[in-house]
Structure 1
Amino acid sequence: MRYSIDRAEKYTVLTPEEEKLDSLKAPMLKSELVTLFQSGTENLILDMQHVKYVDSSGLSAILVAKRLADETNGELVIASLSEHVEKLLKISKLDSVLKIVADKEAAAEVIFLNEIEKENGAE
């Protein structure tokens, strides 16, 4: 599976560079997600700009990312969904569980706001 990873101070952006996130690609994505969170990632932006199709294996990989982010008290934010993938998330009711935003910039804002809330809650 082709993908890119960009690290910022408060978050990591993982961008799958595939049109399909299916049973052939999802195991590799899950493996990369586990590696990212084991290496210290807390907040992850999953930039889906290239992904046009997701099957149940792909949804499972996204839910693994959500669980890993929750375990680190971090955030998973999904950005740049295609219309088809967005409809699938709504049909499967995952839009109520996942944070979905229009683009990477909006995702970064969600993460920064969450970080501010965490810092204020610790005081």
Structure 2
Amino acid sequence: MDFTVDFSEKENYYLIKVDGEIDAYHSATFKQKSKEKLSSADYSKYVIDMSYVSYIDSAGLGAVVSLLKEARNLKKELILVGLQPQVRKIFEMTKLDKIVKIVDTIEEI
């Protein structure tokens, strides 16, 4: 399955759009590319659009937690948007939904 991470600057946030599965095969690429943008771009909000993420495993969750720590160290906010039901359920089961902000749509940011 193809995996892509696209980055774009919006008016008041930085968008990281993920397409594919965030698993052991792709989580390192996702984390590395995203961390580079977190430390180099000058935004206070970073939004990860996960509308097209159909699956996330423990490596993917670890990548998200790592990005959350990095964002907090840099005094920036990390927001997840558009989680599919099966992905949201994993965040709920691991209680990560309590530590990372999750919204349904970009308009809620």
Q: Aligned with 2:52: secondary structure?
A: coil
Backbone CA RMSD of aligned residues: 1.2
Give the greater-gyration-radius structure (CA): 1
- Counterpart of 1:17? 19
* Structure 1 residue 103: Cα displacement: 1.1
- Counterpart of 2:91? 89
Quick one: distance in 2 between partners of 1:88 and 1:17? Answer: 18
The gaps in structure 1 that reach 5 residues or longer are 108-123
Question: Which runs of at least 4 in structure 1 moved beyond 2 Å after TM superposition?
Answer: none
Whose helix proportion is higher, 1 or 2?
1
Quick one: distance in 2 between partners of 1:10 and 1:98? Answer: 19
TM-score, normalised to structure 2's length?
A: 0.90
Aligned residues: 106
- Counterpart of 1:69? 71
TM-score, normalised to structure 1's length?
A: 0.81
* Structure 1 residue 21: Cα displacement: 0.7
The gaps in structure 2 that reach 5 residues or longer are none
Quick one: distance in 1 between partners of 2:56 and 2:72? Answer: 22
- Counterpart of 1:101? 103
* Structure 1 residue 10: Cα displacement: 2.9
Identity across matched positions, percent: 25
